[in-house]
Each structure stands twice: as C-alpha cells, then as structure tokens.
Chains A and B, each alone.
Chain A
Amino acid sequence: MSEQRDIRIEVPVLARVEGEGALELDIEQGEIRNLKLRIFEPPRFFEKFVETHTCDDVIDMVARICGICPVAYQMSAAQAFERLFEIDPGQWVRDMRRVMYCGEWLQSHALHIHLLAAPDFLGFGNAIEMAGQYPDEVRRGLMLQTLGNDLIAMFGARSVHPVGLRVGGFYHAPSLDDVSTMRERLEAALPEVEALIAWAASLNMPDDHQQFVSAGLRHPEEYGIYSGNMYSDSGLDIDVSQWDEHIREIHIPHSTALHAELNGKPYLVGPLARLNINLDRLPPQTAALLEKTGIRFPSHNMFHSLLARAVEIHMVVVQACQLLEDYGVPDRPWVDWQPKPGVAYGASEAPRGTLWHRYEVDGKGHVSSARIVPPTSQNQGRIEEDIALSLQSFGLDKDEDALRLHAEKVIRNYDPCISCATHFLQLKMRRS
C-alpha cells in the first residue's frame, strides 16, 4: 500500500526565501510524525548591541536586520521614540512616511510575486527560466520592483538601508520635480497593476481552506501600513503598548527564531491576514478590482496570499499617488525634540506582517534595552501547522518530489524572512 511507506523529506536549504532555513519532514505509516521548519541562521544579537546607542543611531542599526524590509524597521523604531518623547512630526511627515512605506511594499511584493513565488505556480525553477516563456509578466514584475525601490530612494537616497529617516521626521524633503516625475510613473503603472491582479487571480491555485486567526494593524481611516491598533478577526483590538499581555513568544528548540502565540495559539500576519481585516479600508478602485476577480475575501486559503500581495500593490500605488497629489516642500522636514526616559513602543506593517519594537530609553536618549518581534517569528507556528494540513489535503501518498515541492510552495507563500526572524534569541535571556 502506497500510504504505508515511510518517507523522509529533507530540504537542506530552502531556495527563493530570504535567509537560510530548512525543512524536515518524516512520514511514517501514512502519517506525519515529525515536521520542523528549521531556521538556523545564527542570531546576530542586534537587540544587545543597540544598547548605549542614540535613538537616531538605532534607526540606522535596526535597518540592518533585514535588507528586504529596512524601511519597516526604521518606521517602527522612529514611531516608538516619537511616541515616548511625545513628538508630533505633523501631517507632512506622516503622509510622506506612508508614501515611502508604500515604496517598500511595492518593491517587496513585486519581488516576491515574480521572482520568488510565481515560478512555483508556473512550473519553473526560478524567474530567469520563467522569463523565457513569460517575458511580459517577469518584466512587469521587475518594473514594479524598480518603481518601489525608486520611491524609497526618493526619500532615503537608496532603497536598501535608506538614509533619510530620523526621529522627528526626515533629513530631507524630495524636490517638486522629483515628486512630479514619480507621480507620473506611478500613474502610468496603474494599468499594469490592474493586469497584475487579473493575472494573479488567474493562476491555478490549490483549493486549501484552513482555520486560522488573521492579525495585523488596523487604523480608523486608512489601510494598516504605518500605524494602527493590533487587531485580529478573533476579537483582539489593542494599543501596541499592550502587546505583551496577549502575545507571547516561546522558544522552540529546532529553530534559532522564537515562535509567537496570540492568546496561546498560532496566528497569521502578512498580506492575506491584513487584507482579511482591512477589506473596508481599501480604496474603492482597488476594492472594485478585487471584486472583479470573483475570489471572495476574507479568504482562508493561504494560496490566496499571492493575490493579496497583488491587491496590496494596487492599493499602495493608489495611496502614493493620492498622498503626493498636492505635494509641497516644507520649510524643514523634521521637528526638534528632547529625549525623555521611559519605555517606547512602536509597530508598523512590514510587507510580511506586523513588526513590533519595544525600547527602554534613558534620560540622555540612549537605548538601554530593546526587544523586537518580527513577522516571520509570529508566522512560524502557523507555517508548520499549514504544512501539515496542506500536505494532508494534498495527499501523503504522492511521490516524494511532489510532496517536497508542495511543502516548499506552502512555505514560500508566507514570504518568510529568515534574516528578520533569527536575530532575537537574547529575548529569552531577558525573560528567564
């Protein structure tokens, strides 16, 4: 009997994910006996060595945790400090930070859809191979990724570890010319993004519905990007300073990343979760495009993550166009501030999900202790749960290569950022 065989599947290094992770899977007598998403990047002790540095230094340091989402790290940190110091950088700074953040979502989602995930669904090993048969789709993806990178660089001078953000605002305001050229490019991209949504909806996705909790930031007026309450479809709605009362991190021996649980259970953050809880915050034109796909949201099919990313790409392009519409150069793009001792909390939505920071700051404005909870450690429990459920519905009697590829597809759905996930083990030290 085929389902009686014993299989051991090992994927020693997962391709097309950020950072290094591996999968171990044992199937015995037709049942999963052992399933581990192993994350083995060594911890880099970031939270330890930001200690004694100034808040402005910390903004540049935490960016180095992740080359794919440095803006997210800078935004969560800057907001944490500003909240503690009771600084209001004003509407211009708030709007422009949202625009810069839109750039990061755009580049990261376009990279993930086209270079990391789509080859799975179209039967290619990588995007360069895929470009042979799907040249227009791959080019569109690369164009959008470049547009996102250029949008970040308009504020930060470069897209990886940008140098534009400071506590209280920005170091520099883009010129009117740069903004007007950027707006034209964003508007010209809209038809391409509309086509992207239709294409993402047309990909042949497994029908794999699962029960899970969707969580992320929710804001009273806008789609949760830059700020909001931590919210879930299971009833959570808290200020980010109350995080520890509901979300607990646990150490799993097979991983150098921590797993997080919401009220004792795994939960999902990231594009699908975010779209599920922010549907009523989509711009009308984005909502109409989603409606036209015929795919209903909220969705509990994890394979709809790719479509959720495409929808979010449209949302951020629309948002950035709107926010740049009446752009003016301010006299000075930052406000002055005085440090205050205390505990600083900040959270924002990285492309992969909620990114939460907590800092203790002394009277001179130096950080004395830090804790960071990145999206991938929040998703890790959910990923393992998903692989098990998804493989069962896929059929454990399938051949080994098919099972391995399916498991990898499931993992890549989450766009796991292992670089982010692994630098936090000293958290455990503080607790024990």
Chain B
Amino acid sequence: MSDKPKIAVHKFSSCDGCQLAFLNLGETLLELPKLVEIVHFAEAGPMDEDQPVDVSLVEGSINTAHDLERIQRIRKNSGYLISIGACATSGGLQALRNMADAKAWASAIYASPEHLDSLDTATAIADHVKVDLALWGCPVNSRQVLGALRDLLFGVAPREERRPLCMECKRMGKVCTLVTQKAACMGPVTKAGCGALCPSVGRACYACYGPSELVNDSSLGRCFEGFGLLPEDVARRFHFISNGAPVFRQAGERFRGGA
C-alpha cells in the first residue's frame, strides 16, 4: 500500500486537450508518481474509476444521462475535486448548443432520438456537484494544474485566479492590441493565467480563460462597436469558448438583443 496521496483524472465530453497538461509534461511526468499515486487516468493507462482518491481532476462537460450518474459517483469518491478547462468549468465551446433548440436538432439528426443518450445541454461540472477548485483555460496549462497539486500537497488551499488578463499582459510588457490596433481584445474581461499568449503574437484575446472578476461587459462591448463591430459581432465575442459562463452568456444576449 502506498501512503502517497491518490489522484484520478476523469474525462467527460471534451477534446482531451486538458489532460495533455499532464501528458505534455515531458520528463516531469516521470517525477509525478514520486509525489502522488495515479489510480485512474484512462488515456495514460491506469484504470480504477471507483477507487476513493484524495484529488480528482475532471475534464469535459456533462452531456449524457450516464455522465450525470458518473459525476455523482466521482464526487462521492473524491476528497477534493478540481474542474480543469473550459468544458468542465463552463460547458466549453459545445455549450453553444444550449442556446439552440437542442431537441429539434436531435430529432432532425437522429432517426431514433429516443435511443440517444444525449441531454439537451452541455453543462459545467459545478452545475451538478460541488467543485472545490475551478481551473479555467482552453486548454489549462501544466503550470496551473501542477501549481494546484503542489499547493494541496503542501496543505495550503490553492488560490483561484481572478484578475483580468490586462494585468498579466501589461506586466509582461506586451503591446496592447486594443489600443494600438483597435482590435476587439477580450483581455479586459478575461481571467489572467495563460501568459498573454494572443497579444504576444499580436492578436486580440478571445477569452479562452473565462470571465475575470468585475466584468464591465457593456462598456467593452460599446468600445468594440466604436471599432465598427455590429452588435451580433460583439455578441459572438462573448459567445465563444466560455459562452457558458453566466456573465458572458448574458452579455452576449444583451448585445444580440440590441442593447
């Protein structure tokens, strides 16, 4: 028996990209088992979904009746549950279907929709069970995931990032795309944590890290309109990767409705 903390990585509907925060660690991946025991991580090999663990990391959104049952079971078996990535924290890009008439889609698509195990919505893990820590990002990076695990191993509560990307971008000395290019940059309303990747390649942030605290979406949206974007273009900036986050969903709906 190992006395190391046990961790599990679970997957729901997703692109598998957040699990790569582990699989892309390079040689650090070989160090990880010295600190923790990985009991379930299907893509990497270990499979023991129902073993009680200290920490579960959950990727993906809830899309089926089976998912509903499985996430309850995972919660029951987990001391601490971390949702990783846009799908797990806000439903992901596929939550765009929540705004459409999903029933009509399903019956148009499938000959026998009654046999289909697919809910009408793609929803976040926190809509169904208590989530102890949400790590945003599409995808999350290794620094975020290892940082949280490291904090837990030290016995301290990991801190959630709340600041807007602009803070990180300025600290890194990047050129502001909103000011210099009049680009519809979502940095002012998006969580920091990615490393200001889009501004570093000279393009506007598209909000894959979800909403920051104190989002002034109306003001930013009006600024975009001043750059020449139509209200539906502004709505699409909010209804993108993190469309399922309530503040972005509402902002997008307001602009789409002509606010």
Contacts and interface: CB of A to CB of B under 8 A. Distances in A.
A216 interface: no
A157 B139 CA distance: 13
7 contacts: A16-B45, A42-B64, A45-B97, A52-B236, A115-B23, A115-B44, A161-B208
A196 interface: no
A160 B202 contact: no
Contact of A67 (B20, B118, B141, B203): B20
A40 B49 CA distance: 17
A145 B197 CA distance: 21
Contacts of B25: 142
Contacts of A57: 236, 240
B1 interface: no
6 smallest beta-carbon distances between A and B, as pairs = A67-B17, A126-B45, A172-B201, A157-B197, A44-B94, A146-B26
B44 A16 contact: yes
A41 B13 contact: yes
Given A20-B11, A115-B44, 14 more contacts: A13-B42, A15-B43, A42-B67, A49-B100, A60-B206, A64-B15, A68-B16, A68-B20, A115-B23, A159-B24, A160-B139, A163-B198, A164-B201, A419-B14
B179 interface: no
B5 interface: no
A57 B206 CA distance: 9
DSSP majority for the B interface? loop
B13 A42 contact: yes
Given A42-B64, A66-B16, A171-B202, A426 B26 contact: no
A429 interface: yes
B94 A46 contact: yes
A88 interface: no
Interface size class of A (residues with CB under 8 A): 35 or more
B203 A163 contact: yes
A163 B197 contact: yes
Nearest to B112: A253
A44 B20 contact: no
Contact of B26 (A20, A40, A145): A145
B201 to A, nearest CB: 4
B24 A160 contact: yes
A224 to B, nearest CB: 25
A49 B93 contact: yes
A53 interface: yes
B105 A128 contact: no
A172 B13 CA distance: 32
Contact of A161 (B108, B139, B203): B139
B109 interface: yes
Contacts of A127: 44-45
Contacts of A66: 15-17
Interface string B98-117: 00100001001111000001
A185 interface: no
Nearest to B241: A64
A19 interface: yes
A168 interface: no
A343 interface: no
B19 interface: yes
Contacts of A157: 195, 197-198, 200-201
Contacts of B35: none
B45 A149 contact: no
A138 B17 contact: no
A44 B195 CA distance: 28
A411 interface: no
Nearest to A428: B109
B43 A425 contact: no
Given A15-B47, A45-B97, A65 B15 contact: yes
B7 interface: no
A429 B208 CA distance: 30
Contacts of B49: 13
A281 to B, nearest CB: 29
B201 A163 contact: yes
B30 A44 contact: no
Nearest to A153: B197
Contacts of B141: 158
A238 interface: no
A107 B93 CA distance: 25
A131 B117 contact: no
Contacts of B46: 15, 125-126
B236 A53 contact: yes
B118 A64 contact: no
Contacts of A45: 94, 96-97, 105
Interface string A130-172: 0100000011001101100100000011111101101000111
Contacts of A13: 42, 47, 49
